[in-house]
Amino acid sequence: MIFTIFKKELKDTLRDRRTLMAMLVIPILIFPIIITLFASISEHFKESVMDKTLKIGYYQASDQNSVIKMLKNIPDSLGKMTFVPISSEKELKEQIQLDSLQGGLVFSKQFDQQLSGEQTANITVFSNATKVGYKERIEASLAIIDQQFIAQRLVKLKITNEQIKPIDVSYENTASDQETIGKLAGGILPYFFIAFGFIGCMYPAIDLFTGEKERGTIETLLTTPVERWKILFGKMGVVVLSGLAAASFALIGLFFSIEVMDLVKDPELLAVIHSLLTLKFLAFLYLLLIPLTVFFAGIMIPIAVYAKTFKEAQSIITPLNIVVVLPAMVGFFPGIELTSITACIPVVNIVLATKELIAGTLDIGLLALSFFVMISLATLAVIISFKQFDKESNVVI
Amino acid sequence: MIEVSNLRKEFILSKKQKKEFNTTENTSVAVDGISFVCEPGRVFSLLGPNGAGKTTTLRMLSTIFKPTSGSISVAGIDLQKNPNEARKKIGFLTGSTGLYARLTPDELINYFGALYEVNPEDLIQRKKYLFDLLGMNEFAHKRIGKLSTGMKQKVSICRTMIHDPEVVVFDEPTSGLDVITAENIIQLIRDCKTQGKTVIFSSHIMSEVDLLCDDIAIIHKGKILYNGTMKEFKANMKTENLTSEFIRIVHEA
């Protein structure tokens, strides 16, 4: 009988446009859209900053100033720059604000003498910090020139590089690429899964409980010879399936972006993703997602049963979305790891366990603890749902 | 047959409801120890003004609400002890009944047939009989949401009768319907009577009661003020017409 109710509710749900959007269309499109947007914006930004010819003003230096000459000789491959003399520091600042100049160099009064006297000569660089990338290009060009002057002075002093650099430090990462990427960026995947799992559950939960009350169909359903717990389980099955489907479609969208649309260019990241998309990974992921989705369904159903209208249910569940999905952001912080304490915090444990799973450092004991916590909470949520669904005052308007 | 004895229903009031009703009581009595019997092959009408307790009584008869005290027997089955067996014998239709708009009539009837555990062969036969009788074949595969009110009412009737119930409960079945659409319901009640089913229906429309019922009970503030046959009721009237008599009885209570 539970399956009869489940089949009917599934058919009904799949004919609801709102649910289809939240369960299928948005999750499947989200990763391709985000990755495409992110890649194209960053590519466009990179190109536009490099392509732009920076007009740099300088003050208190002549055309024959050695720094200006050297700057003019820097190859265009580092980005084109032109240099113009400016009559005052005030004018320099004004033109930078108007973006007619993208940067300014103010040389100290004794600059040439200090430089030739092998002292430290000062240049103040003016730039507008809101124009991202300009300061960095000027900085990079000046660093090249600084290095050239150092080299000249070392030759003159007959000192080798080794003499002024007694220690050479090199750094090696002992973590694998998978671990590094997993720990640093692995929180993004479970965040999206949790967000979509929640949204996927939301509309069917409201539609199948509050909606049934609002449309006046619940009365007739309750007069049929079917126990209420069976009705609840049949409906709950569809809510859980919708949440899992939304998360799964998000995964399919991610797979589509990587394998078909070829949107991930970084070979190291691509290698990690390929090593992750295994049956074992997916099995562990669903092991965590199923109790989480049951938990979501279990906290939404009592609200949906209590609410008298679709709007009322939506107005309670939507803020709950923030409460539930916000802890999922913990995965964005690299320092927080799955411990016996974090494994007991719902949602946080799923995010951190998934992150460890991606990094390949998942402790089975902590996974079992997280799973146990989620199963216990999901069971509790189901019991609360049943109690609420069994209250005649909440079921019939 | 329906046998109701000392039936009582109390609702626990929330703080908000206490404010609304301007009361300090923790409970509100909707039905206060009523008793009556509905015989097979006869139509029993529960007549009362708004808020009298008609819907609460019928919701208890159809197992949606559990009585606070008292007993109900439907087709010889104790409703409290064996609600699921009793539900198989009951058909329930209200004027406010909704239908699953995204399903077709055919899908909806199959669903309710399955919920009532109707044998698949019987389901096909009954569906065909009812679809032919009610003229539902031409819209059997259209989404219910796209049907007219009259068509929806026919689907509701079909849904009520698909498991061939012995007892049929109608809660203000014609409320909000035009006379043409209401005629489907009137005809259904007559057919049920002819087939020897036990019929109980609630109404506040005297003309409808006069047209259909054999037995009558007038309910007001949760208590039964009158219970007898329609013939006796008419014979003992102290006013000119049925509506005036109904008003007189309610006012004198």
| pLDDT tens readout for residues A227-267 | 889 999 999 999 999 999 998 888 888 877 777 777 666 77
Query: Given an 8 Å threshold on Cβ–Cβ distance, is A220 in contact with B116?
Result: no
- Burial group, residue A117, by CB count within 10 angstroms (0-12, 13-18, 19+): exposed
Classified by CATH at the fold level, domain B2-252 comes out as Rossmann fold (3.40.50)
Q: What is the rounded (10 degree) CA torsion for A184, A188, A191, A193?
A: -130
Pick the residue from chain B with its C-alpha nearest to A395.
B64
**Contact status, residue B35 vs residue B7, Cβ threshold 8 Å:** yes
User: Given the structure tokens 């503030």, which residue do they identify?
Assistant: B221
Compute the mean pLDDT over every residue in chain B, rounded to the nearest whole number: 88
| pLDDT tens readout for residues A118-145 | 889 999 999 998 887 888 889 999 999 9
**Can you give the pLDDT at residue A239?**
93
Residue A212 distance to chain B (closest CA, Å):
8
**Can you give the pLDDT at residue B241?**
84
Q: Cβ contacts of residue B111 below 8 Å, gap of 6+?
A: A4, A8, B100, B103
Please list every residue in chain A whose beta carbon sits closer than 8 Å to the beta carbon of residue B64: 219, 222-223, 392, 395-396
Nearest to A220 among B12, B65, B97 (CB): B97
Give the amino acid at B66.
Answer: K
* pLDDT at A150 exceeding the cut of 80: yes
Q: Cβ contacts of residue A107 below 8 Å, gap of 6+?
A: A58, A59, A60, A61, A65, A67, A121, A122, A123
Q: How far apart are CA A51 and CA B42, in angstroms?
A: 92
Which residues of B touch chain A, with CB atoms under 8 Å apart? Answer: 11-12, 59, 62-66, 84-85, 87-88, 90, 92, 94, 96-103, 107, 111-112, 114-117, 159
Residue A391 distance to chain B (closest CA, Å):
9
| pLDDT tens readout for residues A321-345 | 888 888 888 877 777 888 889 889 9
Q: How far apart are CA A385 and CA A201, in angstroms?
A: 14
**Contact status, residue A313 vs residue A256, Cβ threshold 8 Å:** no
| pLDDT tens readout for residues A56-103 | 999 988 877 888 888 888 888 778 889 999 999 999 999 999 989 999
**Can you give the pLDDT at residue B175?**
73
CA–CA distance from B198 to each of A44, A119, B154, B168 (Å)? 78, 112, 20, 6
| pLDDT tens readout for residues A184-237 | 667 777 888 888 888 889 889 999 999 888 888 888 888 899 988 999 999 999
Whether the complex's predicted ipTM is more than 0.90 is answered with no
Give the pLDDT band (50/70/90) at residue B119.
very high
| pLDDT tens readout for residues B209-244 | 888 889 999 999 999 999 999 899 888 888 888 888
For testing contact with chain B, the best of A5, A220, A389 (most B CBs within 10 A)? A220
**Structural domains in chain A?**
2-34+177-395 (no CATH), 51-164 (3.40.190)
Say what angle helices A279-306 and A364-390 make with each other, to 10 degrees.
20
Residue B114 distance to chain A (closest CA, Å):
7
**Can you give the pLDDT at residue B141?**
94
Residue B165 CB-half CA count within 13 A? 35
**Can you give the pLDDT at residue A17?**
84
% of chain A exceeding 70 in pLDDT: 96
Q: How far apart are CA A213 and CA A80, in angstroms?
A: 68
Q: How far apart are CA A111 and CA A108, in angstroms?
A: 5
* pLDDT at B103 exceeding the cut of 90: yes
Average pLDDT over residues A386-393: 81
Compute the mean pLDDT over every residue in chain A, rounded to the nearest whole number: 85
Please list every residue in chain B whose beta carbon sits closer than 8 Å to the beta carbon of residue A228: none
- Burial group, residue B181, by CB count within 10 angstroms (0-12, 13-18, 19+): middle
User: Given the structure tokens 């749900």, which residue do they identify?
Assistant: A13
Which residues of A touch chain B, with CB atoms under 8 Å apart? Answer: 1, 4-5, 8, 11-12, 15-16, 215-217, 219-227, 392-393, 395-396
**Can you give the pLDDT at residue A267?**
75
**Can you give the pLDDT at residue A125?**
94
Give the pLDDT band (50/70/90) at residue A394.
low
Give the residue extent of every domain in chain B: 2-252
**Contact status, residue A46 vs residue A18, Cβ threshold 8 Å:** no
